[in-house]
Amino acid sequence: MTLQTEFRLSPRRRGCHLITREIVSHLPSPMPRVGLLHVFVKHTSCALTINENADPDVLTDLDAILDHVVPDSEPYYCHTMEGPDDMSAHGKSTLAGVSLTIPVTDGRLNLGRWQGIYLCEFRDHATARTIVLTVIS
């Protein structure tokens, strides 16, 4: 059995945002006992990741790391039509990725104790983001 749904996240400021609850709220009910959840964001200037959801300093540090690795406004960027964060957002999206696969066990997402699902927003003036959830059992 395969179930799929699509929904929009409201625009968020630049940074990493915990979206686990929003993902879970859009999952079918009941969930299959065993399976996989595939989460996909339909955009090229943001990303999805799973990381620690206990200490908010982790998110601040992740933002700093990504900004260090792929800074805004580099003089060698050609694609800059949408502003100084345009190409850097695309680069960060490529590095972090736009999809996740999470096991479903006993009808629930089988995340680790300290894991959460995050939207990483790389634009200063982001739009709403569309998420596709596919449950495979």
Q: What is the pLDDT of residues 90-115, one digit of tens each?
A: 999 999 999 999 999 999 999 999 99
Look at residue 77 and tell me whether its pLDDT is greater than 90: yes
Torsion of CA 48, 8, 127, 82, to 10 degrees: 60
pTM: 0.96
DSSP H stretches of helix in the chain: 20-25, 57-69, 86-96
Look at residue 1 and tell me whether its pLDDT is greater than 90: no
- Segment 71-93 shows an average pLDDT of 96
* 103 preceded by a cis bond (ω within 30 of 0): no
- pLDDT value at residue 97: 98
Confidence of residue 46 (pLDDT cuts 50, 70, 90): very high
Look at residue 131 and tell me whether its pLDDT is greater than 90: yes
- pLDDT value at residue 123: 98
With a pLDDT cut of 70, the percent of the chain lying above it is 100
With a pLDDT cut of 90, the percent of the chain lying above it is 99
Q: How far apart are CA 4 and CA 110, in angstroms?
A: 19
Look at residue 136 and tell me whether its pLDDT is greater than 90: yes
Beta bridge mates, 116: 51
Tokens 């850097």 correspond to 88
Look at residue 84 and tell me whether its pLDDT is greater than 90: yes
Look at residue 54 and tell me whether its pLDDT is greater than 90: yes
How many CB atoms neighbour CB 14 within 10 A? 17
Handedness of CA 34, 32, 50, 46 (dihedral sign): positive
